[in-house]
Structure 1
Amino acid sequence: MHIFILADHAYINGGQSKVAIESALGLAARGRKVTYFAAVGPVDPRLEQAGIAVICLDQFDIDTTPSKLGFLSQIIWNRPAERRLEAALAGLDRHETVVHVHAWPKALSPSIGAALKRAGLPCVYTMHEFFLVCPNGGFYDYPRAVTCHRVPLSLSCIATNCDSRNYARKLVRVGRQVVLDHSGLKEAIGHVITISALQDEVSRPYMPKHPVYHRVDNPIEAQDLGPKDKPGTGFLYAGRLSREKGIEHFCAAADLAGIAPDIAGDGPLMDELKARYPKANFLGWQKSDAVRAHMRAARALVFPSVWYEGQPLTVYEALALGTPVIVSDVCAGREAVEDGVNGLWFKSGDAQSLAQALRRLSDDGEAARMSRAAYERYWARPLTLDRHLDAIEAIYRQALAG
C-alpha cells in the first residue's frame, strides 16, 4: 500500500500538520510506503529519516508571504502545485495508491482538485475544519460573534461580512470557494473523515452525495499519570484569547461565581480582559508541558468556545489527566463530556449558566467524582496514534477495494 499525503506544511505548525506528519511517520513505521507532498517548508527532518519520500515546493503560505496582494493568485489557484502534483501522481497504481488530503487552504489551494480528478486515484479527505464547504472555514460570523447558519455561497452569505479581518478578504474567499466547487476536488474525494459528529452534521448537506463518511478521532498525546488523589484547586482556560473562543464569558462567569480564573494563553483580547477582570490570573503563553501541568493541577478545564470547533484537543487532554471539563453546548467538545458525569455542559455564551457550573464543581465531592470519571472514561478507550492508524488503514483498504 502506498499512501500519498497532501498538506499545506511539511513541518508542524498546528493541529492539522501535526496529525498529517505523525500519521505519516506511524504509517512508515508499519512498513507502508509513504509520500508526503507539501507547499511550505522547512521539512520536518523525521520524515526523510523514516524513509518517507518528501516533495516540498518551498512556497509561502498566507501568513509568511511577503506580499498579500501577490499571494492572491496562489491562494485561489496554485498552478505550480497543480503541475507538480499531477507529475507526482502520474503512473501510480490505483490498486495500490491512496491519496490522503489533510490541508490545502493556506498554500496548496483548490488547484490540487484538478490534478486529483485527472489522476483518478482513490482519495480520502480529513475535514480538520470547514473550508471544503464554508468560505471562512468555520461557519462563524466574527464581527457579530455568533455561529453562522447561512447557506454557503447564498446571496445572504455573499452579502454578509463574516470575516475576522475585513469584507475584502471575505470576497476573496467567496471567489476561492466558487473556484473550489469547480476544481474537481469534491468529485475526486471518495471518503471523508470527520473528527466530530457535529462536523459531519454541519458539513454533509453541502457535499456531493457520493463520498463515504467516517468518524475518526485524531490521536492525542497523553501520559497516564493515574487518577488524582484529590480535586484540583482552580478553574483553568487554556487557549487563544479571542472572541470565538468564548474567553470573555468565562471571565464574566468567574466574576459572578466569586472565583479568580486561571488563564493560560495569549491573543488579541489580553489587554482588554486584564483591564476588565483584574482578579483573574493571566499566565500568558505557555509551553505544552506547562499547559498539561496546569491542567493536571486544575479542578476543571473550562472550554467556553462559541463556535463549532473540529475536535478540540485540550478537552481530551484534560480528561486524560483526570480533570473534568466544563464545555459550551454549541461546540464539538461537548461530545467528549457526558453532562454531570465527567464534566458539565453550559449554555453557550451565557455567563450565568457557566457560573452555575463553576459553583457546582466548587463542591469537593462533585469535583472528586467527576475527576475519577474523567480519568476512567478516557483511559478505557484512549485516543492513541495506533488506534488512529488502525482506523485510517481500514478506510484506505475500503477506498482501494472500491
Structure 2
Amino acid sequence: MTLRIIVVTDHAHINGGLAKVAIDSAKGFARRGYRVDYFSAVGPVEPSLTEAGVTVTLLDQADVTSASSLARFGAQWLWNAAAEHGLARLLATCDPAETIVHVHGWAKALSPSIGRALRRSGLPVVHTLHEFYLACPNGGFYDYGAARNCDYKAMSLGCIAHNCDSRGYHRKLMRVGRHALMLYGSGLYETARHLISISKLQREVIAPYMSRDAVFYEVGNPIDVADLGPKGDHAPGDFVFVGRLSAEKGPRYFAEAARLAGVTPVFVGDGPEREALEKEFAEAKFLGWRSPPEVRAALRAARALVFPSVWYEGQPLTVYESLALGTPVIVSDLCAGREAVVDGETGIWFKSANAQSLAAAIARLEDDGVARRMAEAAYARYWAAPLTLDRHLDSVAAVYDKVQSHWRAA
C-alpha cells in the first residue's frame, strides 16, 4: 500500500517558516515514493513542488497581505466557502485506509471552513502546531498593545474584553468571532486530536486548551543549513540580531542592553520598529533584509546571535541555524528557543524583557575565550544530532503510522 498524503496549508510558495516546512516535507515524501497532494489557497506555486511530483490544488485566492479589498477578504477570512468545497472534492477521491491529511496552516487564507470538509471526510487527520490558532484568537498568546505575553485565559471574558490586537479592538472582536466559529461551528477543533508540536514549551502552553483525548507528538522542524565545520581560532565578531524588527521579537531590549554593555548591536532584518530604533540608537548598525546565504554568513561571523523574543514562539529556526554554524546564542528564557541552548555551554539564557540581564549575558561573551569555547560546544552539540530533512521525514512518517493505527482502532 502506498500512503497518500494530503498537505493542507495557506500558501503554495515559501513566505516564511511554516510554508517552507510544509513544502519541503511534501517534496521529501514525494521523492520517497509517497503520493502527495498539496492543497492551498494562495499562489504562486513553488515550482519545485511539481518538479518533485507533488500534485497541487490551488484556489488562487488572496491572503490578508495581498487582498485588494479588505472588506471582501474579511468574508473569506471568517469562512472561506471555496476552501471548504474545494477540499471536500479532493478528499472525496481518497481511500480512508490509505490516506492521511496533514494540516499545517489555515489562519491566513483557508479559514476554519476547512474543518467541515475534514470532519465529513472521515479521514485520519494530523495537525502541526506552527502557532497557537487552535487555542488563541490572535494565534500567539501575545498582547500587542502591552508588548508582552498575554495573561488572560484564551476566550475568557477578560480575553474577549481586552484589546490585544495590533490593529484595534474591532479586529480583536473579528478574531473572537472567527475563533468561536472554529471551536463550535466548523468541526476544525474536533479534528485536532493528533497534534505535532515543535517544542516542549509549545505543548505546555497549548495542551490545557485541547481535548483531553488529544495525542501529542514532538517533532522538530528541519533546519536547512550546511555543515561548515568548526569555526576554529578566528576572532569572534559582533553581537547580531536576525529577524523582523517588531516589538514581539524584542529588538529594543537588545539595543538597550548593547548600550549598557558598551558594544555595537548589529541588526539583520527590517520591520515597523526600525525607524524608531535608528533614531534612538545611532550607534547601532542596521543592515536590512539579506539573502539567506548572506544571513548565514552573518551568523557564521558573529560572536553570538542575540534572540530577545518576548513571546513564546514555537521553534525559532534562526537559533538552530546559528548553533549549526558554530555561533553561540543569547536567548530569552521565555521563548522555545531556550530548549536548543544549553545555558552556559552553547549560549546563555537571560531574563526575558530585561535589558540588564541581557547586558550581563553580552558582557560574559565579550571574553574571547568564553566566546570560542561556546562556539565549539554549539557546533559539536548541534551536529551530534542535526535536524535534517531526512530525520524530520522519518519522525513524521512514524506519526502517520500511529495516527492511522488510532483511526483503524476507532
The TM-score range, normalised by the shorter chain, is over 0.9
Query: What is the match of residue 256 of structure 1?
Result: 260
Cα offsets for 1:277-314 (capped at 9, x unmatched):
11111111111111110100000000000000111000
Query: What is the match of residue 391 of structure 1?
Result: 395
Which of 379, 382, 386 lines up with 2:386 in the alignment?
A: 382
CA distance in structure 2 between the partners assigned to 1:50 and 1:347 by the alignment: 44
Which of 18, 34, 38 lines up with 1:16 in the alignment?
A: 18
Q: Is the 8 A contact 2:27 2:53 kept in 1?
A: no
Which of 318, 327, 352 lines up with 1:314 in the alignment?
A: 318
Cα offsets for 1:309-340 (capped at 9, x unmatched):
11100000000000000001101110000110
* 1:356 aligned counterpart, secondary structure: helix
Q: Percent identity?
A: 58
Query: What is the match of residue 196 of structure 1?
Result: 199
**Aligned residue type for 1:118:** R
Query: What is the match of residue 347 of structure 1?
Result: 351
Which of 90, 102, 108 lines up with 1:106 in the alignment?
A: 108
Q: Is the 8 A contact 1:94 1:400 kept in 2?
A: no
Q: Is the 8 A contact 1:232 1:296 kept in 2?
A: no
* 1:70 aligned counterpart, secondary structure: helix
**Aligned residue type for 2:217:** H
Query: What is the match of residue 47 of structure 1?
Result: 49
Q: Is the 8 A contact 1:324 1:371 kept in 2?
A: yes
Cα offsets for 1:156-190 (capped at 9, x unmatched):
00011001111111111100000000211121233
Query: What is the match of residue 137 of structure 1?
Result: 139
Query: What is the match of residue 159 of structure 2?
Result: 157
Q: Does 1:90 align with 2:92?
A: yes
Q: Is the 8 A contact 1:191 1:399 kept in 2?
A: yes
**Aligned residue type for 2:247:** R
Q: Does 1:242 align with 2:246?
A: yes
Q: Does 1:229 align with 2:262?
A: no
Q: Does 1:176 align with 2:178?
A: yes
Query: What is the match of residue 62 of structure 1?
Result: 64
* 1:227 aligned counterpart, secondary structure: coil
Divergent runs of 4+, >4 A: none
**Aligned residue type for 1:66:** S
Q: Is the 8 A contact 2:31 2:53 kept in 1?
A: no
Query: What is the match of residue 130 of structure 2?
Result: 128
Q: Is the 8 A contact 2:192 2:214 kept in 1?
A: yes
Structure 1 residue runs of 5 or longer lacking an equivalent are none
**Aligned residue type for 1:136:** N
Q: Is the 8 A contact 2:237 2:303 kept in 1?
A: yes
Which of 328, 331, 335 lines up with 1:327 in the alignment?
A: 331
Give the Å deviation of 1:91. 4.2
Give the Å deviation of 1:210. 2.0
**Aligned residue type for 1:186:** Y
**Aligned residue type for 2:362:** L
Give the Å deviation of 1:249. 0.5
Q: Does 1:305 align with 2:309?
A: yes
**Aligned alpha-carbon RMSD (Å):** 0.9
Matched residues, number: 402
CA distance in structure 2 between the partners assigned to 1:91 and 1:248 by the alignment: 51
CA distance in structure 2 between the partners assigned to 1:338 and 1:164 by the alignment: 34
Q: Is the 8 A contact 1:190 1:399 kept in 2?
A: no
CA distance in structure 2 between the partners assigned to 1:150 and 1:161 by the alignment: 11
**Aligned residue type for 2:399:** I
Give the Å deviation of 1:104. 0.3
Structure 2 residue runs of 5 or longer lacking an equivalent are none
TM-score (ref. length: structure 2): 0.97
**Aligned residue type for 1:194:** S
Query: What is the match of residue 166 of structure 1?
Result: 168
